[in-house]
Amino acid sequence: MDQLAPNEKYSPYRLFSAERWAEFRADTPLTLTEGEVQRLSSLYDPIDLDEVRRIYLSLSRLLSAHVETSQSLFGQRKVFFNNPDDVVKTPFIIGMAGSVAVGKSTTARVLKELLARWPSSPKVDLVTTDGFLHPNAALRREGLMERKGFPDSYDVGAILRFLSGIKSGERNVRAPLYSHLTYDVVEGEHVTIDRPDILIFEGINVLQTRELPKDGKAVPVVSDFFDFSIYIDAEERLIHKWYIDRFMRLRQTAFRNPKSFFHRYSELSDEAAQAIAEGLWTNINLKNLHENILPTRPRADLILRKGADHLVKEVALRKL
Protein backbone atom coordinates (compact mmCIF):
# COMPACT_ATOMS: atom_id res chain seq x y z
CA MET A 1 0.00 0.00 0.00
CA ASP A 2 1.39 3.39 -1.03
CA GLN A 3 0.20 5.73 1.70
CA LEU A 4 1.00 8.75 -0.46
CA ALA A 5 -0.97 7.57 -3.50
CA PRO A 6 -3.72 10.12 -4.27
CA ASN A 7 -6.48 7.50 -4.32
CA GLU A 8 -5.27 5.34 -1.43
CA LYS A 9 -8.38 4.77 0.69
CA TYR A 10 -6.58 3.86 3.91
CA SER A 11 -3.84 6.47 3.89
CA PRO A 12 -3.39 8.39 7.18
CA TYR A 13 -2.53 11.50 5.12
CA ARG A 14 -4.47 14.20 3.34
CA LEU A 15 -2.72 15.19 0.10
CA PHE A 16 -2.61 18.72 -1.30
CA SER A 17 -1.08 20.25 -4.38
CA ALA A 18 1.21 23.20 -3.69
CA GLU A 19 -1.41 25.54 -5.12
CA ARG A 20 -4.16 24.16 -2.88
CA TRP A 21 -1.84 24.26 0.14
CA ALA A 22 -1.05 27.93 -0.53
CA GLU A 23 -4.72 28.78 0.01
CA PHE A 24 -4.42 27.88 3.68
CA ARG A 25 -2.14 30.86 4.30
CA ALA A 26 -5.24 32.96 5.13
CA ASP A 27 -4.08 36.23 6.70
CA THR A 28 -0.63 35.02 7.75
CA PRO A 29 1.69 37.97 7.05
CA LEU A 30 4.83 37.69 4.94
CA THR A 31 7.56 38.82 7.33
CA LEU A 32 10.62 37.97 5.24
CA THR A 33 12.16 40.05 2.46
CA GLU A 34 13.63 38.69 -0.77
CA GLY A 35 17.12 39.49 0.52
CA GLU A 36 16.54 37.61 3.75
CA VAL A 37 15.23 34.57 1.89
CA GLN A 38 18.30 34.55 -0.34
CA ARG A 39 20.52 34.75 2.75
CA LEU A 40 18.73 31.80 4.33
CA SER A 41 18.69 29.62 1.23
CA SER A 42 21.56 27.43 0.13
CA LEU A 43 23.38 27.80 -3.17
CA TYR A 44 22.51 24.16 -3.75
CA ASP A 45 18.85 24.44 -2.66
CA PRO A 46 17.38 27.61 -4.17
CA ILE A 47 14.23 29.12 -2.68
CA ASP A 48 12.51 32.43 -3.36
CA LEU A 49 9.84 34.64 -1.86
CA ASP A 50 7.12 33.03 -3.99
CA GLU A 51 7.95 29.65 -2.47
CA VAL A 52 7.71 31.15 1.01
CA ARG A 53 4.25 32.48 0.11
CA ARG A 54 3.13 29.18 -1.48
CA ILE A 55 4.35 26.74 1.14
CA TYR A 56 5.88 28.18 4.27
CA LEU A 57 3.26 30.74 5.31
CA SER A 58 0.59 28.04 5.42
CA LEU A 59 2.99 25.78 7.31
CA SER A 60 3.73 28.59 9.74
CA ARG A 61 0.01 29.06 10.32
CA LEU A 62 -0.48 25.33 10.91
CA LEU A 63 2.39 25.17 13.39
CA SER A 64 1.05 28.24 15.16
CA ALA A 65 -2.19 26.34 15.80
CA HIS A 66 -0.28 23.35 17.15
CA VAL A 67 1.89 25.49 19.43
CA GLU A 68 -1.12 27.42 20.75
CA THR A 69 -2.92 24.16 21.48
CA SER A 70 0.15 22.85 23.30
CA GLN A 71 0.37 26.02 25.38
CA SER A 72 -3.33 25.79 26.21
CA LEU A 73 -2.84 22.22 27.42
CA PHE A 74 0.12 23.39 29.50
CA GLY A 75 -2.12 25.97 31.17
CA GLN A 76 -4.73 23.33 31.90
CA ARG A 77 -2.11 21.08 33.47
CA LYS A 78 -1.02 23.88 35.79
CA VAL A 79 -4.59 24.06 37.02
CA PHE A 80 -4.76 20.27 37.25
CA PHE A 81 -1.64 20.01 39.41
CA ASN A 82 -2.80 22.95 41.54
CA ASN A 83 0.83 24.01 41.98
CA PRO A 84 1.79 26.37 39.14
CA ASP A 85 5.30 27.01 40.44
CA ASP A 86 6.10 23.30 40.21
CA VAL A 87 5.29 23.01 36.48
CA VAL A 88 7.96 24.22 34.03
CA LYS A 89 6.86 25.21 30.56
CA THR A 90 8.66 23.06 28.01
CA PRO A 91 9.57 23.88 24.40
CA PHE A 92 7.57 22.75 21.41
CA ILE A 93 9.98 20.52 19.46
CA ILE A 94 9.77 20.13 15.69
CA GLY A 95 11.73 17.24 14.18
CA MET A 96 12.87 17.55 10.55
CA ALA A 97 14.13 14.57 8.56
CA GLY A 98 15.01 13.65 4.98
CA SER A 99 17.87 12.57 2.74
CA VAL A 100 21.16 14.35 2.22
CA ALA A 101 20.97 17.05 -0.49
CA VAL A 102 17.16 17.31 -0.28
CA GLY A 103 17.15 20.77 1.32
CA LYS A 104 16.49 20.18 5.03
CA SER A 105 18.85 22.93 6.18
CA THR A 106 17.26 25.64 4.04
CA THR A 107 13.77 24.60 5.11
CA ALA A 108 14.81 24.60 8.76
CA ARG A 109 16.40 28.06 8.53
CA VAL A 110 13.44 29.64 6.72
CA LEU A 111 10.99 28.06 9.14
CA LYS A 112 13.01 29.26 12.13
CA GLU A 113 12.86 32.86 10.92
CA LEU A 114 9.14 32.73 10.17
CA LEU A 115 8.26 31.22 13.55
CA ALA A 116 10.40 33.76 15.42
CA ARG A 117 8.46 36.59 13.75
CA TRP A 118 5.05 35.58 15.02
CA PRO A 119 3.31 38.44 16.90
CA SER A 120 4.13 36.72 20.20
CA SER A 121 7.86 36.88 19.29
CA PRO A 122 8.71 33.37 20.47
CA LYS A 123 12.29 32.33 21.06
CA VAL A 124 13.16 29.78 18.36
CA ASP A 125 16.36 27.73 18.25
CA LEU A 126 17.71 25.35 15.60
CA VAL A 127 19.99 22.39 16.33
CA THR A 128 21.23 19.79 13.84
CA THR A 129 22.27 16.23 14.61
CA ASP A 130 25.68 16.67 12.92
CA GLY A 131 27.30 17.60 16.22
CA PHE A 132 26.09 14.35 17.74
CA LEU A 133 28.09 12.25 15.29
CA HIS A 134 30.92 10.33 16.88
CA PRO A 135 34.27 12.07 16.20
CA ASN A 136 36.13 10.86 13.12
CA ALA A 137 38.83 9.30 15.30
CA ALA A 138 36.24 7.13 17.01
CA LEU A 139 34.58 6.24 13.70
CA ARG A 140 37.93 5.19 12.24
CA ARG A 141 38.73 3.14 15.31
CA GLU A 142 35.40 1.29 14.97
CA GLY A 143 35.63 0.99 11.19
CA LEU A 144 32.59 3.23 10.69
CA MET A 145 33.92 6.07 8.53
CA GLU A 146 32.18 4.54 5.50
CA ARG A 147 28.95 4.53 7.52
CA LYS A 148 29.07 8.17 8.59
CA GLY A 149 25.47 9.38 8.67
CA PHE A 150 24.09 5.90 9.39
CA PRO A 151 22.33 5.49 12.76
CA ASP A 152 25.30 3.69 14.35
CA SER A 153 27.59 6.66 13.63
CA TYR A 154 25.69 8.90 16.08
CA ASP A 155 25.91 9.17 19.84
CA VAL A 156 22.22 8.42 20.30
CA GLY A 157 22.55 8.52 24.07
CA ALA A 158 23.82 12.09 23.87
CA ILE A 159 20.92 13.06 21.60
CA LEU A 160 18.40 11.57 24.02
CA ARG A 161 20.02 13.31 26.99
CA PHE A 162 19.99 16.63 25.13
CA LEU A 163 16.33 16.40 24.16
CA SER A 164 15.38 15.15 27.61
CA GLY A 165 17.04 18.21 29.11
CA ILE A 166 15.18 20.49 26.71
CA LYS A 167 11.81 18.85 27.41
CA SER A 168 12.47 18.95 31.16
CA GLY A 169 12.83 22.72 30.99
CA GLU A 170 16.47 22.72 32.03
CA ARG A 171 18.50 25.89 31.62
CA ASN A 172 21.52 26.12 29.32
CA VAL A 173 21.44 22.68 27.70
CA ARG A 174 24.51 22.19 25.50
CA ALA A 175 24.73 20.59 22.06
CA PRO A 176 28.09 19.80 20.40
CA LEU A 177 29.16 21.68 17.29
CA TYR A 178 30.20 20.24 13.94
CA SER A 179 32.47 21.69 11.25
CA HIS A 180 31.54 20.98 7.65
CA LEU A 181 34.98 22.30 6.71
CA THR A 182 36.90 19.68 8.69
CA TYR A 183 34.06 17.15 8.41
CA ASP A 184 34.31 16.47 12.14
CA VAL A 185 32.90 17.33 15.54
CA VAL A 186 34.64 20.40 17.00
CA GLU A 187 36.26 19.21 20.20
CA GLY A 188 35.23 21.22 23.26
CA GLU A 189 32.85 23.50 21.32
CA HIS A 190 29.13 23.67 22.08
CA VAL A 191 26.03 25.72 21.41
CA THR A 192 23.91 26.49 24.47
CA ILE A 193 20.13 26.25 24.26
CA ASP A 194 18.31 28.06 27.06
CA ARG A 195 14.60 27.28 27.31
CA PRO A 196 13.39 28.22 23.81
CA ASP A 197 9.69 28.37 23.07
CA ILE A 198 10.29 26.31 19.94
CA LEU A 199 13.20 24.05 19.00
CA ILE A 200 13.74 22.74 15.46
CA PHE A 201 15.82 19.55 15.57
CA GLU A 202 17.07 18.66 12.10
CA GLY A 203 18.85 15.56 10.83
CA ILE A 204 18.60 12.72 8.35
CA ASN A 205 17.76 10.07 10.95
CA VAL A 206 15.70 11.91 13.57
CA LEU A 207 12.63 9.75 12.83
CA GLN A 208 14.64 6.54 13.11
CA THR A 209 13.23 3.70 15.20
CA ARG A 210 15.11 0.93 17.00
CA GLU A 211 14.49 -2.11 19.15
CA LEU A 212 12.50 -1.43 22.29
CA PRO A 213 14.38 -1.68 25.60
CA LYS A 214 13.60 -5.05 27.15
CA ASP A 215 13.33 -3.65 30.65
CA GLY A 216 11.04 -0.82 29.56
CA LYS A 217 13.15 1.75 31.42
CA ALA A 218 14.77 3.72 28.58
CA VAL A 219 13.30 6.22 26.14
CA PRO A 220 13.35 4.18 22.91
CA VAL A 221 13.64 6.76 20.11
CA VAL A 222 14.55 10.39 19.48
CA SER A 223 11.14 11.24 18.00
CA ASP A 224 9.46 10.49 21.34
CA PHE A 225 10.42 14.06 22.25
CA PHE A 226 8.86 15.63 19.14
CA ASP A 227 5.58 17.54 19.15
CA PHE A 228 5.51 17.72 15.36
CA SER A 229 7.63 16.15 12.63
CA ILE A 230 8.38 17.09 9.02
CA TYR A 231 9.95 14.95 6.28
CA ILE A 232 11.47 16.61 3.19
CA ASP A 233 10.94 14.29 0.25
CA ALA A 234 11.79 14.00 -3.44
CA GLU A 235 12.16 11.29 -6.06
CA GLU A 236 15.37 9.30 -5.72
CA ARG A 237 16.61 10.32 -9.17
CA LEU A 238 16.29 13.99 -8.21
CA ILE A 239 18.13 13.61 -4.91
CA HIS A 240 20.87 11.73 -6.77
CA LYS A 241 21.23 14.59 -9.26
CA TRP A 242 21.22 17.25 -6.51
CA TYR A 243 23.88 15.38 -4.56
CA ILE A 244 26.20 15.08 -7.57
CA ASP A 245 25.61 18.69 -8.60
CA ARG A 246 26.35 19.90 -5.07
CA PHE A 247 29.53 17.84 -4.86
CA MET A 248 30.81 19.22 -8.16
CA ARG A 249 30.02 22.81 -7.15
CA LEU A 250 31.73 22.39 -3.80
CA ARG A 251 34.91 21.46 -5.68
CA GLN A 252 34.95 25.04 -6.96
CA THR A 253 34.17 26.60 -3.55
CA ALA A 254 34.55 25.05 -0.09
CA PHE A 255 36.75 22.14 -1.20
CA ARG A 256 39.40 24.58 -2.43
CA ASN A 257 40.17 25.55 1.17
CA PRO A 258 43.35 23.65 2.14
CA LYS A 259 41.78 22.99 5.56
CA SER A 260 38.81 21.24 4.00
CA PHE A 261 38.52 17.50 4.64
CA PHE A 262 37.62 17.17 0.95
CA HIS A 263 40.37 19.44 -0.40
CA ARG A 264 41.93 16.55 -2.34
CA TYR A 265 38.81 16.31 -4.51
CA SER A 266 39.26 19.89 -5.75
CA GLU A 267 42.49 18.87 -7.49
CA LEU A 268 40.97 16.01 -9.48
CA SER A 269 39.75 16.20 -13.05
CA ASP A 270 36.01 16.63 -13.54
CA GLU A 271 35.73 13.02 -14.71
CA ALA A 272 37.58 11.65 -11.68
CA ALA A 273 35.58 13.83 -9.29
CA GLN A 274 32.33 12.74 -10.91
CA ALA A 275 33.32 9.11 -10.42
CA ILE A 276 34.15 9.76 -6.74
CA ALA A 277 30.80 11.51 -6.21
CA GLU A 278 28.89 8.65 -7.83
CA GLY A 279 30.70 6.17 -5.61
CA LEU A 280 29.92 8.13 -2.45
CA TRP A 281 26.29 8.36 -3.48
CA THR A 282 25.88 4.69 -4.36
CA ASN A 283 27.91 3.11 -1.56
CA ILE A 284 26.96 5.41 1.32
CA ASN A 285 24.15 7.89 0.78
CA LEU A 286 21.82 5.81 -1.40
CA LYS A 287 22.29 2.82 0.88
CA ASN A 288 21.51 4.96 3.93
CA LEU A 289 18.45 6.38 2.17
CA HIS A 290 17.06 2.92 1.39
CA GLU A 291 17.90 1.27 4.70
CA ASN A 292 17.33 4.02 7.25
CA ILE A 293 15.93 7.33 6.02
CA LEU A 294 13.11 6.60 3.57
CA PRO A 295 11.52 3.94 5.84
CA THR A 296 10.92 6.69 8.43
CA ARG A 297 8.89 8.88 6.05
CA PRO A 298 5.50 7.42 7.10
CA ARG A 299 6.25 8.45 10.70
CA ALA A 300 6.18 12.17 9.84
CA ASP A 301 3.23 14.43 10.61
CA LEU A 302 3.83 16.40 7.42
CA ILE A 303 5.68 15.56 4.20
CA LEU A 304 6.92 18.20 1.77
CA ARG A 305 7.55 16.58 -1.62
CA LYS A 306 9.81 18.53 -3.98
CA GLY A 307 9.97 18.59 -7.75
CA ALA A 308 12.92 18.89 -10.13
CA ASP A 309 13.17 22.67 -9.57
CA HIS A 310 13.68 22.16 -5.81
CA LEU A 311 10.26 23.67 -5.13
CA VAL A 312 7.56 21.85 -3.18
CA LYS A 313 4.93 20.39 -5.49
CA GLU A 314 2.87 18.37 -3.00
CA VAL A 315 2.11 18.39 0.72
CA ALA A 316 0.91 15.43 2.77
CA LEU A 317 -0.57 16.19 6.19
CA ARG A 318 -1.37 13.46 8.67
CA LYS A 319 -5.04 13.25 9.56
CA LEU A 320 -6.09 13.96 13.14
pTM: 0.95
Per the prediction, the chain carries an average pLDDT of 93
- The answer to whether residue 246 scores a pLDDT higher than 80 is yes
CATH topology of domain 13-209+217-318: Rossmann fold (3.40.50)
pLDDT number for residue 1: 54
Cα 167 versus chain centre, distance: 18
Query: Tens digits of per-residue pLDDT, 173-185?
Result: 999 999 999 999 9
For CA atoms 6, 9, 13, 14, the dihedral sign is positive
CB of 134 closer than 8 Å to CB of 155 = yes
Planar angle of CA 136, 137, 143, nearest 5 degrees:
85
What's the angle, vertex CA 141, arms to CA 136 and CA 147, rounded to 5?
A: 60
Q: What is the mean pLDDT of residues 23-52?
A: 91
Residue at 306: amino acid letter = K
Instruction: State pLDDT tens for residues 2-23.
Output: 777 766 678 899 999 999 999 9
Higher-pLDDT residue of 193, 211: 193
Domain locations along the chain:
13-209+217-318
pLDDT band, very low/low/confident/very high, at 45 (cuts 50, 70, 90): confident
